[in-house]
């Protein structure tokens, strides 16, 4: 019996040491660094399309510094898809439809990141920023009482954009949530129709609605091709550039690239 107690005491004394000697769990492996999207073959074609479009927008922006430019939105793109936009429930309940007819830009400048970034977890993009003196919208509201002309003018603004790549091209995110700190869009003046319609329009046409229409209109405008974006009085405006100026050289370079295609 004495020997039994001695063995039990030795066993209890050794137990803590045995527990202490258990190996610690291995640290979690660090997440693998993502590859540079510029080097991935699947993203090269859409990235080339984004840069080509931004070159066209740069050309358009040059013209806005000489009296401003107006873009007429093609008919099939005018209707704002309220059913797809959060925060438009009240408009839809009242059977109101909004159409953006024209956008007017003055002193527009476009800044872009030199290289693509991982904007989303599995989706790269090219961030950009529009800086403008004036961004005006001509809008029509179709209501049960008839069509009401509306307008909104944003001044001295900054509008962040994300050109999000996808296999067949790209999407444009206007004023993305992650870049709200880069935006400056609070200086806006609203315009409503005549005295017979202003009372109706004032009940639904608020700054929040103007912002929704602006985001849609700018997104559609920046997707337009050369024919629609550089139409109307654009050519005459560009011809006013002073020969030999930095603006004229920049425009000539972009035009040369467009004509080569």
Instruction: Flag whether 71 is in a domain.
Output: yes
Residue 13 falls inside a structural domain: no
pLDDT at residue 110 greater than cutoff 60: yes
Question: What's the average model confidence in pLDDT over 126-135?
Answer: 97
Question: In percent, how much of the chain has pLDDT > 90?
Answer: 55
Whole-model pTM? Answer: 0.76
Number of domains in the chain: 1
Higher-pLDDT residue of 92, 256: 92
Residue 137 in any domain: the answer is yes
Q: Which domain holds residue 208?
A: 37-260
User: Does residue 240 have a pLDDT over 70?
Assistant: no
Residue 16 lies in a domain: no
Evaluate whether residue 9 is within a structural domain.
no
Q: What is the mean pLDDT of the chain?
A: 81
Taking the CA atoms of 251, 100, 120 and 39 in sequence, report the sign of the dihedral they define.
Answer: negative
Selected residue with higher pLDDT from 50 and 245: 50
Residue 8, in any domain of the structure: no
In a domain, 11, yes or no: no
Whether residue 5 is contained in a domain is answered as no
């Amino acid at each position: 019996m004495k020997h039994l107690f001695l063995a039990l005491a030795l066993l209890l004394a050794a137990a803590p040491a045995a527990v202490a000697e258990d190996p610690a769990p291995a640290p979690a492996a660090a997440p693998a660094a993502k590859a540079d999207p510029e080097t991935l073959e699947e993203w090269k074609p859409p990235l080339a399309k984004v840069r080509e479009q931004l070159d066209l927008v740069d050309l358009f922006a040059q013209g806005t510094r000489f009296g401003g430019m107006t873009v007429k939105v093609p008919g099939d793109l005018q209707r704002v898809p309220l059913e797809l936009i959060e925060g438009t429930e009240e408009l839809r309940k009242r059977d109101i439809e909004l159409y953006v007819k024209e956008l007017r830009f003055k002193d527009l400048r476009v800044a872009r990141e030199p290289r693509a970034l991982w904007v989303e977890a599995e989706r790269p993009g090219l961030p950009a920023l529009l800086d403008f003196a004036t961004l005006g919208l001509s809008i029509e509201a179709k209501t049960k009482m008839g069509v009401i002309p509306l307008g909104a003018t944003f001044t001295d603004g900054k509008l962040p954009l994300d050109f999000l790549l996808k296999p067949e091209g790209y999407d444009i995110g206007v004023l993305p949530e992650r870049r709200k700190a880069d935006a400056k869009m609070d200086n806006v003046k609203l315009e409503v129709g005549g005295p017979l319609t202003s009372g109706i329009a004032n009940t639904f046409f608020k700054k929040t609605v103007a912002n929704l229409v602006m985001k849609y209109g700018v997104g559609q405008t920046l997707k337009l091709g050369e024919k629609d974006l550089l139409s109307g009085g654009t050519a005459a405006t560009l011809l006013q550039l002073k020969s030999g100026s930095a603006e004229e050289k920049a425009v000539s370079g972009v035009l040369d690239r467009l004509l080569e295609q």
